[in-house]
Amino acid sequence: MRRLPFTPDQFFEIFAIYNSRFSIVVAAWWLASLGLVAFAWWNPRRDSRFVTQLLAALWAWNAVAYHAALFTRINPAAWIFAVLFAIEAVLLAWAAARHPHEYFGSHGPISRIGLGLIAYSFLYPFLSALSHTYPATPTFGVPCPTTILTIGLLLTTRSGVPTAVAIVPALWGIIGGSAAALLNVPTDYVLLVAGLLLLVVASAGAWGAPSRLRSYARQRHVE
């Protein structure tokens, strides 16, 4: 544990402060996210843009309200995390405005994993409460469940995972996922796996693997 500049007790105390200070906001984020994702599930073409805007707001909220305002108290590296989360918020806002992603448009094992991650992100605060006592426990709207939700949605996009907006979630999946073992946050083992999966899928997309697969499939269909 000496590898970290803070103790587990200090880490969970940050969540206690966060949940005590923002309890109403936490509930609002959960309800708003669940509602918009449900709408996008029923009508991806119409409502996916709103989900991306929601994700942008969540990442910006994490940058300011969690990393900059609270986590910097115990970890100087949190300033770097705040910048990364702010960059991701800008990228998502840009994507929503100029290149909206259509969620729930793909089918296959990767998409089904994405759906499982989306469901898991909404269950995250309740599962966290099984191993840690509220309010000193991660809840919805903090970095890890936000990242799990984002990765899950990106894995369901019709046109494949967009590389630009996948980098920071994949990176945080690995960084934040380390808390699973180092800080006894068992719910974050899923985050670590999700981050690694997104990294692989996004890398394959960047090298054109999905395009080659689709071309091969079309060729086989013609034959």
% of the chain surpassing 90 pLDDT: 79
Alpha carbon distance 80, 149 (integer Å): 22
Contacts of 99 (CB under 8 A, 6+ apart): 162
Please tell me the predicted confidence (pLDDT) of residue 207. Answer: 52
Q: Which structure tokens are listed for 147? A: 């990242």
Rounded to the nearest 10 degrees, the angle between the axes of helix 143-154 and helix 189-206 is 40
Please tell me the predicted confidence (pLDDT) of residue 101. Answer: 86
Please tell me the predicted confidence (pLDDT) of residue 106. Answer: 83
Q: Is 117 helix (H, G, I), strand (E, B) or coil?
A: helix
∠ CA 140-166-17 to the nearest 5 degrees?
Answer: 25
Q: Would you say residue 161 has pLDDT above 90?
A: no
Q: What is the pLDDT of residues 44-70, one digit of tens each?
A: 999 999 999 999 999 999 999 999 999
Model pTM? 0.91
Give the residue among 171, 178, 185 at the shortest CA–CA distance from 132.
185
Q: Would you say residue 30 has pLDDT above 80?
A: yes
Q: Would you say residue 215 has pLDDT above 70?
A: no
Q: What is the pLDDT of residues 1-24, one digit of tens each?
A: 447 899 999 999 999 999 999 999
Please tell me the predicted confidence (pLDDT) of residue 208. Answer: 52
Q: What is the pLDDT of residues 165-211, one digit of tens each?
A: 999 999 999 999 988 888 999 999 999 999 999 999 998 875 554 44
- Residue-range domain boundaries for the chain: 8-222
Report, as an integer, the average pLDDT of 91-111.
91
Q: Considering only 102-106, 158-162, 204-208, which range has the smallest mean pLDDT?
A: 204-208
Q: Which structure tokens are listed for 207? A: 């090298």
Report, as an integer, the average pLDDT of 133-150.
96
Q: What is the pLDDT of residues 106-125, one digit of tens each?
A: 889 999 999 999 999 999 99
Please tell me the predicted confidence (pLDDT) of residue 105. Answer: 87
